[in-house]
Amino acid sequence: MTTNILEYLEATAERIPDSPAFSDEKLTLSFLEFLKRSRAVGSFLIGKGVKRRSPVMVIMNKKPDTIAVFFGVVYAGCFYVPIDPDMPPDRVKLITAKLDPQCVFTDKKNFDPEKYGLTCPVFEPDEAESAPLMEEGLRAVRDTSIDTDPIYVVFTSGSTGIPKGVLACHSSVIDYAEAFTGMLKPSVSSVFGMQVPLYVDACLKEILSTIKCGSHTWLIPRSMFMFPVRLVEYLNRHEINTLCWVVSALTIISGLGTFETIRPSHLSTVCFGSEVFPVRQLALWREVLPECRFINLYGPTEATGMSSYYELPKDRIFGPDDRIPVGKPFKNTRIFLLDDDDKEAIEGEICITGRCLTLGYFRDEERTAKAFTQNPLNHDCHELIYRTGDIGRYDENGDLVFVSRKDSQIKHMGHRIELGEIEQNAGMLEGISSQCCVYDDIRNRIVLYYTGEAEPKDIMMSLKSKLPSYMLPSKLEKLKVMPVTNNGKIDRSSLRNKAKEEE
Amino acid sequence: MMLEKLTELLKGLHPEADIENEDGLIDNGILNSFDIVTIIAEVDDMFDVKIPASEIVPENFNSVRALSDLVERISEEF
C-alpha cells in the first residue's frame, strides 16, 4: 500500500530514469534529475534543522524547479505553501501572519522579506538544489512519516477578506492520484500541457500523472494565454496530447476564432472544469477534434483536486439549454445531496466524503468545523463530510449536475473568488461609502458598484495593491444611490441585471 | 477618436501605467490575458470590430497606437 507520495516518484525514476518529466522553454528535467533535485532540497532543509510537519513557503515562478522544491519540502517532512509570485505583498502579509512559516524559497530578484511580513530565513532554490545529500536524514524522515501528515496548503479567497488555507495530506493526495489516473489512464506517451498555475491544487492533475505514470508535462507560460494562435502552435510544436484546462483558457482559443487559422494536431484528451462550458464553444472544440475524449471535472480544493467526472459520450449532442453534467464520483469517493433540513434529496447541497477529504483549514478551527461536519445521515459512528456550498441535482441518467452556489463565491477565469473579499477590500478605501460586487456571467466579468467621492481609477490603483489580478473588477461604476431591497439590504440581483444589460 | 477611446479603456485597466507613451504593454508585462480578452470584447462592443485570432499577436498590443492602427485597419477591410 502506498503511504507516501514520494513512492510514486521513486518508482517511476527507477523505471524510466532518463525520460523527460517536467519541461519549460528553458529546461527539461528527467525523472532522475528531478528526483535528485528534490532530494537535495530535502537534505538542505533537514540540514537547516527545519521542524517536521511545519510550513515552508514557496514564492516561485512556474518552472520545473518549483515542483522540485515542492517535493524537496515533502522529503524534509514539511509541507509546502505555494504563493503566486505576482500576488500583492499586502495580501501575502495576511497569509504570512496566519502561517508563520519556517522558511521561504523564492526566485524573485531583490526580494524584500519585510514587505511580505516575513521574519524567517529566505533561501534561493539554486542553493538548495545543489546541497549535498543527507541519506540518513532523509531515511529518518521517511521511517517516521505517516499518511495523515500534511503535504501542502493552498490559499483560496475568503469572504471575510482573509484568504483561507486548505491543508492536504499524503492519504488524500494518494487517493486522488489513484482515482484520477485510473479514470484518465495517462501513460509514458502522454504529454500534458499545464495551463494552471502552480499555486493552486489544480496542478496536481499533471504533477501526479507525471510522477505516477511517467507522463511528460510542459509548463505553459502564462503569457502564452494572451495569444491564441501562438498557444496552439506551442501545443503542436511540443506534440502535447493531453490538456486539463479551465474552461476560460479553452474558450480563449475557440472564442477568438483561432481554429480558422490553426488547429491542434495531437490532442487526444481534453479535461475541463472549474466553470460551465458554454455549449457553443464546446461544439467548436468537438467539431475540430471529433476523436478526442472530452471530460468534465468537478471538485472543491477541500476534497483534494477533483471529486467527480463526466466523459462526454461521442454521440451526445448538447443543446443550448443543456448543462454538461459533472457526472459520477471518482472511485473511493461518495457524493450525496442534502436539502435545507439535512435530508437526502435529488436537489441540494453537494456533500463529499471519503479518503479524499483534506485536513481542513490551516489554523482555523471555526471555519473547518462549519464546512467539515458529521454526516447528518449517519447516526452510527463518526463520519466526516465536506459541505461544498454548491447546489447540485441529479439528471434523468442519474448524473450529477452543478446548479449554482449557495453564497457569493464565483469562478472567474478558473479562479475561485469570494466577491465578499473584493467588497471588503474596496470598503476599506477612502472615499467609498458603500459597495457591491457582482458577477456578469454573460461577459464573464466582475463589476464593482459603489457610492462615494472616489474616482474609479483611484479605486483601481488601490485594489491593485491588495488583490491579485484575477480578482480585479473589469468595470467600476459610481452610483448616486445604492439600490436596496425592502429589508434594506443591497439589492444584489438588480445590480447583477444592471451589469448584464450595460455595455 | 478611436485612439482616445482606446487610451481611456487601457487607463481604466491600468491607471498606474503611462498608457500614452508606453510602447511595451506586452513586453514589459503590463497587460495580462484577462486584459487582452477584455480589450477584444470592448473593441467589439465599442466599434463593432472583431479582431481575428491571427491578429492577436504581441506587436498589435504593445502600444495604444499599435492597437488603434490595428482596429482601424480591420474596420477598413470590411
Q: Using 50, 70 and 90 to split pLDDT, how confident is the model at B72?
A: very high
Q: Is B36 on the interface with A (CB under 8 A)?
A: yes
| A37's grid cell | 533535485
Residue-wise pLDDT tens digits, A210-236: 999 999 999 999 999 999 999 999 999
Cell numbers for A65: 524547479
DSSP designation for A344 = B
**DSSP assignment of A401-461:** EEEEESSSEEEETTEEEEHHHHHHHHHTSTT-SEEEEEEETTTTEEEEEEESS--HHHHHH
- CA–CA dist A364, A165 (Å, integer): 9
DSSP state for residue A466 in the 8-state scheme: T
Ranges of each domain in chain A? 1-170, 220-406, 409-501
pLDDT per position as a tens digit, A309-347 = 999 999 999 987 788 999 999 999 999 999 999 999 999
Q: What distance in Å separates residue B20's CA from the closest CA in chain A?
A: 16
Confidence category of residue B78, pLDDT binned at 50, 70, 90? low
Q: In 3-state terms, what secondary structure has residue A120?
A: coil
Q: Determine whether the interchain pair A226/B36 forms a contact, defined as Cβ–Cβ distance below 8 Å.
A: yes
- Give the chain B residue nearest A232 (alpha carbons): B53
Q: How far apart are CA A165 and CA A368, in angstroms?
A: 10
Q: Look at residue A486 and tell me whether its pLDDT is greater than 80.
A: no
Contact between chains at B15 and A225 (C-beta distance less than 8 A): no
* Residue A277 scores a pLDDT above 90: no
Is residue A352 scored above 80 in pLDDT?
yes
pLDDT beyond 80 at A245: yes
Q: What is the pLDDT of residue A427?
A: 85
Instruction: Please count the residues of chain B.
Output: 78
Q: What ipTM describes this predicted complex?
A: 0.89
Task: Tell me the chain A residues in contact with residue B61 when contact means C-beta distances shorter than 8 Å.
Answer: 226
pLDDT band at A482 (very low <50, low <70, confident <90, very high): confident
Selecting from A225, A257, A413 the residue whose C-beta is nearest the C-beta of B52 gives: A257
d(CA A436, CA B26): 31
- CA angle B77–A284–A442, rounded 5-degree value: 80
Contact residues, chain B, for A231 at CB < 8 Å: none
Of A258, A443, A469, the CB nearest to B34: A469
Nearest to A225 among B11, B33, B40 (CB): B33
The three cell numbers locating residue A366: 471555526
What's the pLDDT at A172?
A: 98
Query: Looking at CA atoms only, how far is residue A349 from chain B in angstroms?
Result: 31
From the list B15, B51, B54, the residue facing A261 with the nearest CB is B54
Using CA coordinates, name the residue in chain A closest to B41: A443
What does the pLDDT average to over A37-54? 97
pLDDT at A503 over 70: no
Find the residue in A nearest to B40 (Cα). A256
How much is the mean pLDDT over chain A?
Answer: 94
What pLDDT was estimated at residue A236?
98
pLDDT tens figures, A396-421: 999 999 988 888 889 888 888 989 89
Which residue in A388, A354, A345, A353 sits closest to A370, CA to CA? A388
What per-residue confidence (pLDDT) applies to A23? 98
Does the distance separating the beta carbons of A445 and B57 come in below 8 Å? no
Closest CA to A272 of A302, A309, A300, A236: A309
- Its pTM stands at 0.91
Q: Looking at chain A, which residue has its C-alpha nearest residue B53?
A: A258
Q: A220-406 and A409-501: same fold?
A: no
Containing A390, the helix (H) or strand (E) segment is strand A384-394
Task: Give, rounded to a whole angstrom, the gap between the first and last alpha carbons of chain A.
Answer: 57
The predicted-structure confidence for B18-55, as pLDDT tens digits, reads as follows 999 999 999 998 998 888 988 998 898 889 999 999 99
pLDDT class of A501 with cuts at 50, 70, 90 = confident
**CA separation for the pair B67, B78 (Å, rounded):** 17
For chain A, say whether B28 makes contact (Cβ under 8 Å): no
List the strands of the sheet with A164-169, edge to edge. A122-123, A103-106, A55-59, A79-82, A150-156, A164-169, A360-361
Question: In chain B, positions 42-61, which contact chain A (CB-CB < 8 Å)?
Answer: 45-46, 50-54, 56-58, 61
CB atoms within 10 A of CB A334: 15
Domains, chain B, in order of start with CATH, read: 2-77 (1.10.1200.10)
CA distance A260 to chain B (A): 8
Give the pLDDT confidence score for residue A95 in this predicted structure: 96
In this structure, what are the phi and psi dihedrals at residue A332, rounded to the nearest 5 degrees?
70, 20
Look at the domain A409-501 and name its fold. GMP Synthetase; Chain A, domain 3 (3.30.300)
CB pairs under 8 A between A and B: 68
Which residues on chain B are in Cβ contact (under 8 Å) with A472? Answer: 34
Cβ atoms of residues A384 and A351 within 8 Å: no
> What is the rounded distance in angstroms from the CA atom of residue A38 to the CA atom of residue A142?
14
The DSSP result for chain B, as a single string, is -HHHHHHHHHHHH-TTS-TTT-S-TTTTT-S-HHHHHHHHHHHHHHH-----GGG-SGGGTSSHHHHHHHHHHHHHH-
Q: Average of pLDDT values for A258-281?
A: 92
Q: In the structure grid, which three cell numbers stand for residue A17, read together? A: 530514469
State the alpha helices, DSSP H only, in A256-363.
279-288
Residue of A nearest to B16 (CA): A461
Q: Among 3.40.50.12780, 3.40.30.10, 3.40.109.10, 6.10.140.120, name the CATH number for the domain at A1-170.
A: 3.40.50.12780
C-alpha to C-alpha distance for B55 and B32, rounded to whole angstroms: 17
Query: Biggest alpha carbon distance in chain B?
Result: 35
User: Taking the domain A220-406, which CATH number applies?
Assistant: 3.40.50.12780
Cβ atoms of A362 and A396 closer than 8 Å = no
Say if residues B49 and B75 touch (Cβ distance below 8 Å): yes
